[in-house]
Chain A
Amino acid sequence: MSDMKKSVLTSVRIIAGAAAILLGFQARQRVDLGAIVASNSNVPFSGLVASQSNDVNVPAGDYFYELSQKLKEEYVEPVTDDQKLASGAIRGMIASLDDPDSIFMSKDEFAAYLNARIGKYEGIGADLELVRNGKSGSSDSGSSEADSDMTPEDAMVTVKEIPHLQVMSVVPGGPADKAGVKVGDVVRYVDDHWVVDSGLINKFRIALRKVNNKQMPATELNAMRAEIRSKSEHALLPARAKDKLFLGKSGTVNVVWSRNGKEITTKIERSTCEMPGFSVDGDRILLPMVEGDGGRLANAVKGKSEVTIDLRNSTLGNPQVMRDCLSAVAKPGNYGYFTTKRHDSPTPLEISVGNAHPPKIQLIVDKSTRGPAEVFALALASKGLVRVSDSEMGGDVESQQIVKLPDGSGYTLATSAYQATVSRKALNGAKGTVALQEVRK
């Protein structure tokens, strides 16, 4: 081979090699950023890359990947924790649902939540939930400062409602119980921090409109303005207030509650405590509806002709256990439906095996009967199979999925709501709450 030929070949190799490096690098850039970063869009490699740069509707997964890459490339500090990015993105999505039943929880929050679901509490020893007026929980909580005689015009100026934090159940003998906290109490202050209440803000905005329309002197407004200002200096969002009460095994927390329009001040020592588990006392059964209670209930009712089941203080029951419990005390058949607001058909609540010879059942319920326990009561009552104590239940019949993420955080997602075969209205239920009378004497 002549020297000439050799040098030509060498240079061809070098050029080809360099071109390949460049193309490889470009391909990577297209892959990493191609779809979302708006730059020169006429790329030679558009056939190779996964996402087309001209496609404006970038699929969510690609969007996530490419934005993560962009952050890793540009952000002033190294971004190494992909898991944190994913959890952050999921937090953002769940938060955008703006639903007190669909909540993202950090690692600590989620761990405490899972423990509470098996009866092991920390913090003040109470189940607290974010509640929106009219959505769940009772409406006469005395928590809302919003005018009940709100006109449609007033409704126009009100802000989106911030849920308030309400006690759903209290662990008997636990710190909150000792301090006199009751189911239905609403948190107003935690350690001198005002728990943000959209009611007050709305009241203010309505007053403001009246002043602007010259229906009210401005002086009244100034007092309210000063109140909001001083309160917001040390404000706490309800979700954060929940952490201070639901988490922690030591330390004192000062809480001001609202109960029937009155303010009650308590000083509570955080500690661990346990909700009483499944127990049988003669014909009386305490059913918290946690893991394993289905089998226990089946055993407990064996050979009994009449039992009383106590469903109080059951707010975080397990939906699967609820089905097992239903099987233990009811004949096979349909017990209502889970419905959604999407265009899909309701999912029936079916019992396939069941108990061919169920005992006569009396249920004791109150406001601390929520979630699966409430569905259980409604399912049996709708069939006229049980006598139910004459009190209102929690009004929470939504079914949730619980999802755990690899970093220990997790979220709940409301997926459906229970509806008995008979409409709830026929069961003497008011909007949002269900008042059950004795169905069968």
Chain B
Amino acid sequence: MKLVTAIIGFLAMVLGCFVFGFAWPDIQKGQLPSTSAISNLFGVKSGAAATPELEFTHAYSKVLAEYIKPVDSTTLKYAGMEGLMSSLGDPHTMFMPPKASEAFNDETKANFGGIGARLGQDPLGARLSDVFDGGPAKENGLKGGDIITAVDGKQVGGMDIDDVVTMIKGKEGTIVKLTWMEPGKHEPITKAIKRARIIAPTVESKYFPDYKVGYISVASFSEPTADQFGTEIDKLEQHPLKGLVIDLRENPGGLLQSACDMLGYFVEDKLVVRMKFRDGKEEIAKSPSGFLHNFNYPILVLINEDSASAAEIFSGCLRDFGKAKLVGEHSYGKSSVQNVFPLVDQSSAKITIAKYYLPLTPYYGRKLDQDGGFISGGLEPDVKVDLDPNATIDPDNPKTDAQLWRAIEMLNPQAATTATTASAGH
């Protein structure tokens, strides 16, 4: 008898422990185990029609059974999952059905050849914002401001820029046929171009002797960026400087470490970014010590809506530490970290798992409405300057770039007069 009691007691204890383990995720959240989880454990679907899961299933079955046209059940399921994940209102939390996940993987692996140019959105197709020295685009006569209108004979007008880029990229050594138009010319040019492995330069500098202003553009934050930045600063400082313009427009970000290292030239051992996770855990990043540089001239940073992530951390911190003012348009507002979770059917779920916070700037995450329209987010510039989208920018003439020109005028108030004299001289 005593043995039976002991056995029953033992089994009860084991069962109790099992239930405890099962309910642990809920206990952590301070709630009762969800009925849905329990019924799933026993393979039973609860009959109550009130659970959101059943409400969803109900709508799903209704559309499949009663919609006027037949609908593919997998497509419908994925459409539902996309809606589920976008209902949080976070543009970076999304469901990627199998095809989209594949493209995303290819992109992140980035073992692709290209034409050696940076492209921007244009109603006509893709506008070349930058052409790299020594790349296939430059060798074939493509210039900044040209607009690619067709790729391999397919019109790209009205297409999303990312799709155009995907079409242009391909295996190193293969051929891509491009059709492009030069501003002011009527006839498009078509050429077959061989793709090559591209290492995009991240830092470039220029000195404007007429205005005594240095200019550094940072295209993205990769491993060598901080070193390259230091080298370019040294180069520029061989000239007399009234000020420096750091151009982060179109800079999509990159490595956080690289942005921190670059901040090390400006501030030493300072907390630059705080990452807050779901469970209250925090991670911080600091600028390194031993790299402090004495910038004895004012600095302006150019930003626009394509400046994102690490570019926003860098420019936002410079402003927070009083090292620079921002000029241009509001930045993108990417201030969060995502993780991609692969799912068994080759789809994946991209979920925002943490948010960044700058030393002083309040949270600036991008917010969109239901239709994807911009509501708010990004760093607001101290001096707002819009760019005429139809103006052709001549990289050798800063006056053709309204944002850069404004920065130069701010750094050297005499620049405007110089300009007038110069144009009067013609």
Contact = CB atoms under 8 A, between A and B. Distances in A.
Nearest to A235: B373
A277 B367 CA distance: 44
Interface string A235-262: 0010110000000000000000000000
B71 A97 contact: yes
A82 B50 CA distance: 11
Interface residues of A, number: 103
A49 B41 contact: yes
A71 B349 CA distance: 9
Of B16, B79, B336, B369, the most chain A CB neighbours within 10 A belong to B79
29 contacts: A17-B13, A19-B17, A20-B16, A21-B18, A21-B21, A23-B18, A24-B18, A28-B24, A38-B344, A48-B42, A51-B40, A54-B344, A57-B345, A58-B345, A61-B53, A61-B56, A62-B40, A63-B81, A82-B51, A83-B52, A89-B83, A89-B84, A90-B80, A204-B123, A204-B158, A217-B186, A218-B181, A218-B185, A415-B67
Contacts of B71: 97
A205 B20 CA distance: 62
Given A86-B56, A95-B83, A37 B22 contact: no
A32 interface: yes
A249 to B, nearest CB: 22
A217 B24 CA distance: 70
A77 interface: yes
Interface in A196-254: 201, 204-205, 208-209, 211-212, 214, 217-219, 221-222, 225-226, 228-229, 237, 239-240
Contacts of B14: 16-17, 20
A226 B24 contact: no
A64 B21 contact: no
B256 interface: no
Nearest to B55: A86
Interface stretch (A268-276, A287-295, A398-406): A398-406
B344 A75 contact: no
Interface in B17-70: 17-25, 36-37, 39-45, 50-57, 59-60, 62-63, 66-70
B179 A53 contact: no
Interface in A2-43: 13, 16-28, 31-32, 35-38, 41
A353 interface: no
A93 B278 contact: no
A50 interface: yes
Contact of A76 (B20, B23, B277): B277
B371 interface: yes
B41 A403 contact: no
Contacts of A426: none
A417 B36 CA distance: 38
B82 interface: yes
A42 to B, nearest CB: 14
A24 B85 contact: no
B166 interface: no
Given A28-B23, A68-B52, 7 more contacts: A24-B23, A51-B40, A79-B88, A89-B84, A157-B155, A214-B187, A341-B69
A70 interface: yes
A333 interface: no
Contacts of B39: 50
A240 B371 contact: yes
Given A58-B344, A71-B351, A89-B80, A24 B56 contact: no
Contacts of A73: 25
B393 to A, nearest CB: 16
A92 B86 contact: yes
B183 to A, nearest CB: 9
Of A77, A212, A406, the most chain B CB neighbours within 10 A belong to A212
Contact of A208 (B43, B87, B124, B390): B124
A86 B76 CA distance: 14
B266 to A, nearest CB: 29
Interface in A88-113: 88-97, 102, 106
Of A16, A49, A83, A86, the most chain B CB neighbours within 10 A belong to A86
Nearest to B93: A75
A340 interface: yes
Contacts of A27: 18, 21-22, 41
A20 B278 contact: no
A25 B21 contact: yes
A64 B57 contact: yes
Contacts of A60: 56-57, 60, 73, 76-77, 80
Given A71-B351, A403-B62, A415-B68, A64 B18 contact: no
Contacts of B150: 212
Contacts of B354: 76
A22 B21 contact: yes
B45 to A, nearest CB: 7
A86 B59 CA distance: 10
